[in-house]
Amino acid sequence: MTRFHTTAIYTMLAILALLFARPVLAEEPVLAAGDIIQIVLPGEPDFDQPYQLDSRGMVTLPEVGALPLAGIDTDTARRRVNLALSSAYRDLSQLKVLIKERRLMVSVMGFVKTPKDVDLPANGNVQMAISAAGGLRQGAQMNLFQLRRNGSTSTFDYKRYLDTGDASAIPVLQSGDTLFVPSSPLIGNVEVEFDARTLTAAGDAGEETGAVKVFGEVQNPGTFSFKSNQTVVDVIMRAGGLTRYAGVEKIRVINDGSPIVFDLKKYFDTGDASLLPTLTEAATIYVPINVDEVKAGVRTVYVMGEVAKPGSYEMTEGANFFDVLANSGGPNRYAETRQLRVIRASGEVIAFDLASYTEGRPGITVPSIGPGDAIFVPEKTDQLEKSWLKIGNDRAIRIIGQVNKPGRYEWSDEMSLLDLVAHAGGPTQYGDATQIRILQKNGDQAQATVFDLQGFINNGGSLSDLPRLRAGDTVTLPELPRDPSDNRSQWTRLDSERAIYVMGSVGAPGRYAFNPNLHFLDIISAANGPTPTADIRNIRISHRNREGSEVSKVDLALYFETGDPSLLPQVVPGDVIYVPNRDRDYTETDPGRMVRVLGSVRTPGRYTFNDSMTILDLLAEAGGPSADAWQEKIVVVQVVDGEPRATAFDLVKFARGGDFSNLPVVRAGDTVYVPSVSQSDWQIFMNGVRDVFQVVSIFAILGAI
């Protein structure tokens, strides 16, 4: 062999070795609708953003327009893009086409809220596609979804996937697929708004030929899909159960044209599963309405008349008269319980007084009852007006006067006065609940007591405080006086022990009703209050109901100034309140209305004082301060609880711009002293607080003189 041939053989072997040693290149990925690609072309900003293939597999590029790229790999797509861009761009040597993200482009049509093309991630499924289309509409047929791909159509049960979560129950989606959701035949051929709950209550079988039909006295008649091993009870429960009018003893079941009568009551009574008929496809179940039948038998008794549930009843062994009467609900409100009748099967009639028997009266025997007997409860003869003869005096109590329903009522010892007043409708608007009178029989005498029910209600207390009532008592609720100030004739109807008198300078003097819950201000207010000329500092009260005759004085103005409730007196019925007029000379008759003005004033002396005056008015009455008055050290001396108290007043400072609210308060009986700046007067005082206390001591003595 020549050197040439040897060299050629080695060369061929080397080429073959290189071929076999070259790794197998992976297949280029194929583009599909929805994929997002990145076209790399350095120096061209138009290609910086990615491009997505639409549902047709097209991508729109600048300068060249739409270009189909679906179904080819990235290398072929690069060449196709290169060819398309070569007419507009020169340098395409560095052009690349890369897949940035794999996406699914699926069309969702049919009975969804928003039919459209949806963009899903590469791992998207049917549920994600339906959710992207807005979800299913009410009435979608979930067991017959359709998937259309490349001209072929397949169906799958989406409901099974929702029930089990089995992903194999739904197909894997690909780009370009069409998902179609059909509508249920239950919604009809006309588009209307409907309630899905009401629609499904009529059954879930739609147009299935093997569906079970249920109608009659069930809650939701309709057609229901057939399921193996289901019983009549299962189907009735799917139909919402029975109505209250269902005849459960005669349910009809038709299997393959053969009717069967099913007794549901017997099945529940025995629990025998052999009583349940076997259901087949296209079976029909009818629940009839319950029809009242005349019941008669060897153990039947009858209850008629004014009872809650008259009718015939099956009597068990050992049942007695009260068992039968109670089973019928007992006598109603119209029953005459004193005139019951028991009618024997033989025709004998026995009277029975049920009311007297329940009261424990001796000599009353309960009649026996047997099969075939009847109990008759008659109606009361008088329904318009209550007869007094039906309630004896030993069981009745009377309430009269100002109540809404006065009358004679049946009484029991466990009741109280509150029960009686409430049963009578309560007091009227003119009823005086503070003066309830109770008349009780004590042998041949009648004893009367008075009780303040209004006070008990307002303040509470022990229930033992309520008066003990008995049958035969009479309770009277008196009438309130109706404004005696306007109608003088009403005064004679108002007892003096319940009245109080208001006289003098008030708006409406007169005689007014009074109870312990009222006080002094209530009475003054009822009389329209004091007049403008009334002297409210010298109100007099004559207490006539106390031992002897006692008169007290009330300073109502001082109460308004201090708010001290201890200044107001305690008044009781029979007292007389007199409010004088202040148009009087108090100089001699009432020294307590005077104020002393002393010291360096032009006219020192005692001056009449009223509540409208201030210290400035008093100084003016005294002619004003003299020339040597020490106006910065004016002192007001008051005696409080027997102790002197002084208040300093700087008239000069006030004149420069003072506030009237800062003026010292001056009352009747006070002393105003204006010192002098002379040396002799100065010696009376000392420095600081000591001066004031000396003045207080001096004028405390003056006030006692």
Residue type, 286: Y
What would the 3-class secondary structure string for 334-398 be?
A: CECCCCEEEECCCCCEEEECHHHHHCCCCCCCCCCCCCCCEEEECECCCCCCCCHHHCCHHHEEE
Taking the C-alpha atoms of residue 579 and residue 530, their distance in angstroms, rounded to an integer, is 7
| Residue 344: predicted pLDDT | 92
Residue-wise pLDDT tens digits, 174-197: 888 899 999 877 676 766 665 655
Taking the C-alpha atoms of residue 193 and residue 203, their distance in angstroms, rounded to an integer, is 18
| Residue 381: predicted pLDDT | 61
**Among candidates 404, 636, 387, 69, which has minimal Cα distance to 396?**
387
Do 568 and 559 meet the contact criterion of CB atoms below 8 Å apart? Answer: yes
Backbone angles phi, psi at 28, to 5 degrees: -70, 135
How long is the chain?
A: 705
| Residue 197: predicted pLDDT | 59
Q: In the chain, which residues have pLDDT < 70?
A: 1-27, 186, 188, 190-208, 292-297, 381-392, 481-497, 545-549, 583-592, 679-705
**Among candidates 125, 122, 128, which has minimal Cα distance to 104?**
122
Do 224 and 231 meet the contact criterion of CB atoms below 8 Å apart? Answer: no
Residue 427's Cα: distance from chain center in Å? 31
DSSP H or E segment with residue 647: strand 643-649
| Residue 682: predicted pLDDT | 43
| Residue 154: predicted pLDDT | 92
Q: Burial level of 671, CB count in 10 A (0-12/13-18/19+)?
A: buried
The token pair that represents 420 in the structure block: 């009686």
| Residue 20: predicted pLDDT | 46
Taking the C-alpha atoms of residue 129 and residue 118, their distance in angstroms, rounded to an integer, is 7
The token pair that represents 372 in the structure block: 């075939």
Taking the C-alpha atoms of residue 365 and residue 321, their distance in angstroms, rounded to an integer, is 11
Cα 607 to Cα 457, 563, 594, 613, 636, distances in angstroms: 53, 27, 5, 11, 15
Q: Burial level of 633, CB count in 10 A (0-12/13-18/19+)?
A: buried
Residue type, 211: A
| Residue 199: predicted pLDDT | 56
Three-state DSSP state, 471: coil
DSSP H or E segment with residue 696: helix 689-704
**Among candidates 82, 96, 84, 6, which has minimal Cα distance to 42?**
96
Return all residues near 447 (Cβ < 8 A) that are at least 6 apart.
Answer: 439, 440, 441
Look-up: residue for tokens 């409901």?
Answer: 159
**Among candidates 29, 36, 173, which has minimal Cα distance to 101?**
36
Q: Burial level of 595, CB count in 10 A (0-12/13-18/19+)?
A: buried
Structural domains for the chain: 36-101 (3.30.1950.10), 103-183 (3.10.560.10), 196-287 (3.10.560.10), 300-377 (3.10.560.10), 388-477 (3.10.560.10), 488-579 (3.10.560.10), 586-704 (3.10.560.10)
Taking the C-alpha atoms of residue 433 and residue 478, their distance in angstroms, rounded to an integer, is 8
Strands 671-674 vs 594-599: parallel, antiparallel or unpaired = parallel
Look-up: residue for tokens 């007290």?
Answer: 552
Taking the C-alpha atoms of residue 335 and residue 198, their distance in angstroms, rounded to an integer, is 47
